[in-house]
Chains A and B, each alone.
Chain A
Amino acid sequence: MKVMITGTGAVCAAGTNPADILASVMSGQTSMHPIEQWDTTHWPTHVAGEIPNFNARAMVDDRKLHKLIRRTDLVGLYAAGRAIDESGIVAHRDTLEGVARAAFSDRSGVIVGSGGGNFENQYDYFPLMTEAGNDLVAFGRELSNTVNPMWLLRTLPNNVLGHIGIKYGLKGTNACITNHSVGGLLAVIEANEALRAGEADRVVAVGHETPVEPQMVLYYHDVGLLASEALRPFDARRDGSQFGEGAGALVLETEDSARARGAQVLGEVIGGGYATEGEGLLAIRADGDGPERAIRQALDDARIRPAEVGMIVAHANGTRASDSSEAAALLRVFGDEMPPVTGFKWAFGHLIAAAGVVEAVIGLAALRAGVVPGIAALRELDPDCAGLAVSPSNQVPRGPVALVLCRGFAGTNAALVIRST
């Protein structure tokens, strides 16, 4: 069974829709800027990919909803809404009546990759803690006078899932995956599998995260994951990653569902793969075992040979260990048949749970435009990564198929294969 992509949406530092983001990346300009959400003058890290002029109303029009959700949910709902609008699934559903209408909603799923939590939300308890001193009895007694009664709901990791359902009346199969930075791409893989298994006729797959908050940045810095100056994937002098914030979404549909309503088809999901190294939260193997197995599984699943891959959107997060092990995996799978390789994190940062979905959306837009955006931040290819077909300038895809790779904490690795139409 074929699984079609009929709508996409994305928002990040580089733009508020896929076309603008692709144009920005292709221009070679970075969207990484000094952090604005707090004063980083005395901080060891100053740069991130924040969404410029962030406006909650522009993300989600319903102001009542703003009290119930967080910044990460705002961007997730925004991207999902744009993908749903572009696909036309809800507009189509609303032309139906009675049983057909209800059945359409029941057969429409939502699968989300979410960051799973943040630190700032817990700071909402600080005023109460100050008021109560060290006295837990006073803390309990004054609780409802000081803390937002909706605090727990604002904290839910599955808010985007629930609120997409309510806003658009989608009621089918669903999941919220909290697997750090593979969550988003895994949501796309799971959406594809749900359609193949007949659990739904269409699924909205979303990834969203806004990790640019002080305590998160500090931890990543302390464990050595953040770049001192810039994110330079596969570069000899790379020294870490940088955060960005954003969200991406894809509407996937069975071929029958898309055809029945005469939908515009942007592309196809043709395979997925997933593997875990299992050596702890932060550990990754030097030999690229996990990404290699995920890639091979995805290519097998898509029933294609390495030579048929037209471009690779690498995880390319800029850390020494991840980039070199990822390169090792790609070299073992593709060898002499290496297609052009790119990565997008240098341009708008590592979007964590949103990374894989946004990169799949932009990867699809690039395939459709017939371009492999260059990695403008690349100066000198690391000898450890020699053999990767990367370039600071834009390249041309070898064909209409892209492999998108994503890696996360707990040694998790996801690979998705898409084809443009």
Chain B
Amino acid sequence: MKKRRVAVTGVGLVTPVGNDVESTWSALLAGSSGGAPITLFDASGFATTIAAEVKDFENTLVTDRKLLKLTNRSHRFALEAAEQALIDAGVRPTPGDAHRWGCAVGAGMMTTDFSDLVETHKHAANSGKIDTDLLLTDGPANDPIVFCRGQAAEGLALLTRRFGIHGYATSVHTACASGGQAIGTGMKIIRRGYVDRVLVGGFDSMISPIGIGGFCLLSALSMDNDTPERASRPFDATRNGFLLGEGAGFLVLEEWELARTRGARIYAELAGDGNSLSSYRITDSPPDGDGPIQSMRQALADAGATVEDIDYINAHGTSTLMNDRSETAAIRAVFGSEADRVDVSSTKSSMGHLIAAAGAVEGVVCALAIARGEMPVNANLRERDTDCNLNLITGEARRGRVRMTLSNSFGFGGSNSCIVMRHPDLA
């Protein structure tokens, strides 16, 4: 049976380097950094005091105050980026076709806003230990809005309600692979015939005392506090951890013929998805690239493509010692000598690591690379790690026809996601 094909027809972004697609894209081409001292809270006591925050953000497209009251920071990014993507696609659910629309999102880890945790601590755990009877009279612990904002399914609830989506709607979380897996899920439910159009994306914001604290405890973050704009330097010999980012990326996926019939502008064909488990360690990929190798091969096979067809790889490229080395080994294993030809960059060099949103934002980057014939630079690369022998895009962005792209996302827990897109003229 012939597979139903999937078109990318709309994109939306809220990132540390821009609150929409155009500003983000200019920054990625220029290689400008979103890294800066943390302003969302006083981080001066932490080992890492820098992050890539979304700047001067307010919801301009979604202004329903009743809805916004139910959001945390990451949900607000999600609503804005999703609305951008639907406007861009020029199509949205109607009561007549709501059940043929799906939604698949990579959602950040459920946490209570820090201010609420502070209030609960003060009221019910002043000694350091929770007094469950005092919880009965605690403010946040009895506030249904705090409850809703903290639920893992709240982002999905807000999006499906806002846009009237009544088909297959799901929320996935495989840490840093979440966004990529959400895109893959969206593609699969169109192929299966469950739905015809899907809003897919990812959103996250962990720049809080708990989030930064959690990563500091694992020694995962760069501590280059004096040079935040240089802190994220994937594949550089001096890299020393990732730069935590935040934001959201969304795409509108449509069954190919429906998109063509309505004359939609098609950025790219979403052609292949690959998933694997490294089953090695919770936080690391194996040095030989086992795991990511399988996800890349699967995605290529799923797309009916070979390594010769790929012109651009958006690497996971977190700027940690282990990831970049392991990912290089995986790309080398899959691409062989073709790895000398294919252009590679990690846009985390500009945006930092958006965790559950990363794969979705980087999916948007690939769609734009194909549509515009432009490939963002791997910023901050000065001293190449000899173990990271890839054809990295250094200095400035590259221009040229991009036939197909491949985007990697690897998560804590060992999930590896790979997404392959194809130029619409070749689909």
Contacts and interface: CB of A to CB of B under 8 A. Distances in A.
Tell me, yes or no, whether A binds B: yes
B278 A223 contact: no
Given A42-B136, A172-B277, A179-B171, A281 B70 contact: yes
Residue in B142, B167, B173, B283 whose Cβ sees the most chain A Cβ within 10 Å: B173
B191 to A, nearest CB: 8
Contact of B278 (A171, A177, A215, A278): A171
A155 interface: yes
Contacts of A137: 42, 44-45
Interface stretch (B79-87, B106-114, B231-239): B106-114
Contact of A276 (B42, B45, B132, B167): B167
A355 to B, nearest CB: 14
Interface string A108-152: 011000111111101101110111001111111101100111111
A171 B153 contact: no
Nearest to A114: B173
Contacts of A324: none
Contact of A161 (B99, B174, B214, B215): B174
B160 interface: yes
A43 B130 CA distance: 15
B65 to A, nearest CB: 15
Contacts of B282: 68, 153, 156, 159, 162-163, 166
A197 B44 CA distance: 51
A162 B413 contact: yes
Contacts of A180: 151-153
Nearest to A274: B168
Nearest to A143: B213
Nearest to A157: B173
Residue in B41, B152, B192, B194 whose Cβ sees the most chain A Cβ within 10 Å: B152
A193 B194 CA distance: 11
Contacts of A153: 218, 282-283, 412
Given A137-B44, A280-B157, A174 B121 contact: no
Contacts of A144: 47, 216-217
A143 B217 contact: yes
Interface string B297-329: 010000000000000000000000000000000
B125 A123 contact: yes
Interface string A277-290: 11111100000001
B165 A276 contact: yes
B128 interface: yes
A156 to B, nearest CB: 6
A219 interface: yes
B276 interface: yes
A165 interface: yes
Residue in B46, B158, B160, B172 whose Cβ sees the most chain A Cβ within 10 Å: B172
B136 A409 contact: no
A62 interface: no
Given A117-B110, A136-B209, A175-B174, A193 B144 contact: no
B121 A130 contact: yes
A143 B411 contact: no
Contacts of B188: 193, 197
A135 B42 CA distance: 9
A110 B277 contact: yes
A222 B142 contact: yes
Interface in A167-199: 168-180, 186, 193, 197, 199
Contacts of A215: 120, 135, 141
A219 B45 CA distance: 34
A122 B111 contact: yes
A279 B98 CA distance: 12
Nearest to B213: A143
Contacts of B107: 116, 178
Given A174-B174, A278-B164, A152 B110 contact: no
A152 B111 CA distance: 11
A275 B279 contact: no
A129 B121 contact: yes
A165 to B, nearest CB: 4
Given A131-B128, A158-B175, A280-B157, A116 B283 contact: no
A312 B9 CA distance: 41
Nearest to A127: B128
B33 interface: no
B362 to A, nearest CB: 19
Interface string B96-137: 001100010001011110000110110001111110110110
A39 interface: yes
A24 B83 CA distance: 50
Interface string B132-156: 1101100001101001101111101
Contact of A140 (B45, B98, B109, B112): B45
Contacts of A138: 45
Contacts of A158: 173-175, 411-413, 415
A101 to B, nearest CB: 13
Nearest to A130: B128
Given A68-B282, A276-B166, A276-B167, A140 B213 contact: yes
A173 B177 CA distance: 13
B291 interface: yes
Given A42-B136, A125-B213, A409-B151, A165 B173 contact: no
A414 B13 CA distance: 31
Contacts of A412: 153, 156, 169-170
B171 A177 contact: yes
Interface string A329-358: 000000000000000000000000000000
Contact of B279 (A171, A177, A178, A179): A171
B245 interface: no
B212 to A, nearest CB: 8
Contact of A281 (B154, B164, B174): B154
Interface in A208-239: 214-215, 218-219, 222-223
B181 interface: yes
Interface in B225-258: none
A18 interface: no
B294 interface: yes
Given A166-B279, A214-B130, A278-B165, A410 B213 contact: no
B427 interface: no
Interface string B272-289: 000111111111000000
A159 to B, nearest CB: 7
A82 interface: no
B209 A171 contact: no
A147 B213 CA distance: 9
A176 B135 contact: no
A411 B157 CA distance: 8
Given A139-B45, A223-B147, A276 B160 contact: yes
Nearest to A136: B42
Interface in B159-218: 160-161, 164-175, 181, 185, 188, 191-192, 194, 209-210, 213-218
Contacts of B164: 278
Given A169-B279, A178-B171, A180-B153, 5 more contacts: A116-B109, A158-B412, A174-B415, A177-B170, A411-B160
8 contacts: A157-B110, A162-B282, A174-B275, A276-B167, A278-B160, A281-B157, A411-B160, A412-B169
